[in-house]
Structure 1
Amino acid sequence: MLELNVNNETSRLKAVVLGIADSNGPTPNENEAYDPKSLEHIKAGTYPVEADMKVEMDAFDQVLKKYNVQVFRPKLISDYNQIFTRDIGFVIGNTFVKANILPDRDREFEAIQYIIDQIKPEHIAYPPEEVHIEGGDVMLWNDHIFIGTYKGSDYKNYITARTNMAGVAYIKALFPNKIVKEFDLVKSKIEPRDNALHLDCCFQPVGKNKGIIYKAGFREEADYNYLVNLFGKENLFHIQREEMYHMFSNVFSIDENVVVSEKNFTRLNNWLREQGFVVEEIPYAEISKQEGLLRCSTLPLIRE
């Protein structure tokens, strides 16, 4: 059986589910896009091709194995996008929470059922239907659980609004001993530069006390200030609008001092090295065209 354990974003990673890009299917039609960035690339004829994405995911897989991480992969579904495992579930402590994702993505969960079968049933939580929650919006920071949401009254009109307040309430009830703090995120259906699809598109901790943040991704300045007060402004790397668009905050930590990052993130990678991190640079620019990056492609199961 898998003994799940995840309490933050940066402790030494032992086991993870990494997505696959082996049979991603044809380029979607415009009306099939889940987010504005994919739509932009579909319209421009620059939507990523399977071979390129496979190369990028293989590079990620190699880095994880270099650090002796146990890497699980979803079972292959032909002509189906299975890259973003973060959306389909997440682990808090020793509990696996199944995400309630967009209905036409349900098969992604079936592809990891063989992993779920290795978890004790009493450690699996299945939220009720009215709870919308995705792993990209759920971020663990020791005694804190940060959750991205959208509080606008027009929530149902936004395919980019993925976690609702019922999702926040559900996590609060499930983990009464944690400090659960929600963040109201900026959403856009048409401009990817103004769309924080998930919390990890505008914030992510690295190391023991540092983080990457995009101030304009928060609808309320008080939410941004909460993180500044918690981490300290001097410990936060502030990204700009274009950097947020390229998903600078969506890196992935293998350990407190090891960060996997996109090789083109020069300004961020230099800062990380200045802070003493080992930066494992890999190509991931093609996958990023689907408004997801390194954190989105992973579902950590065990950290030390």
Structure 2
Amino acid sequence: MMEQMNELRALIARHCVGTRFETPIPRVTLLSSCTQTEPARVIYEPLFCVIAQGRKQLIVGDKVLIYEASKYLVVSVDLPASGSIIHASVDEPYLAFSMRLDRAALASMLLELAEVGDDGSPAAGLAISSVDAELLDPVVRLLRLLERPREIPILGPLAEREILFRLLHGAQGKMLRQIALADSRLSCISRVIDWIKNNYAEAIRIEALAEIAGMSGSSFHRHFKAVTSMSPLQFQKQIRLQEARRLLLAQRADAGSIGFAVGYESPSQFSREYSRLFGAPPSRDAARLRELSSFDPQRLSQPV
């Protein structure tokens, strides 16, 4: 596996343009950094990520997770999180491969394999496991296609399919199965997450969210906490504040009107909770981000 990992590092270092490179391979992104980074609040979407070099810390709700070279991350639902690169240098930059998960492809594969079912136990929204040679091999073969771009449309889907197959039969196979099954507990919680994201400015009632999930109130709260490491109200607060930050940068409106737009009735409460999450009041935080010439507003909704 060491030879495969060395090739993965070389491929990422060779092809990653800047700190983040959206490759011509669908759903595949390469990441690189020569420096450690400050914690960045972003929204992680369902993805599979392998760190080839360096180390990263993630904070999701009350969970603190650290993963490094030879580890892989699976995220099953949209999750607000804080991510920071904690080990990187010019000599040994942080290098990572990321692939957004295609739920339709997973569902199709499960049908072909006749592997269905949900035992009803709470599923995590995020997990870290050790990568093995069988999983690393199709990842490397997929990135080799960057040097033969004409082959991407034909061979790319085959390598991606093998990656999904290996994930389904790996340590996080149960989570992947629940992503694909429409009636799984994870999919039910995902529907609620989508509703909160689309209606973040509205007041929420646990009973109404439980109804969307098709669960009892107590069962819904238990499963939501297991998936997100947050209560529904805590989750909504993070979504509101992430959106407020994006609006502050995009529209340059005053903090008070932005607070009202995302659902806050009290400007002081908005400023207080914004400062607690991002480390500075809204206007000062937005001004600081604008001063960073390399700052990309798209990073507010994407992992570092």
TM-score by length of 2: 0.31
Judging by fraction of residues, say which structure has more helix: 2
The TM-score, its normalising length taken from structure 1, stands at: 0.31
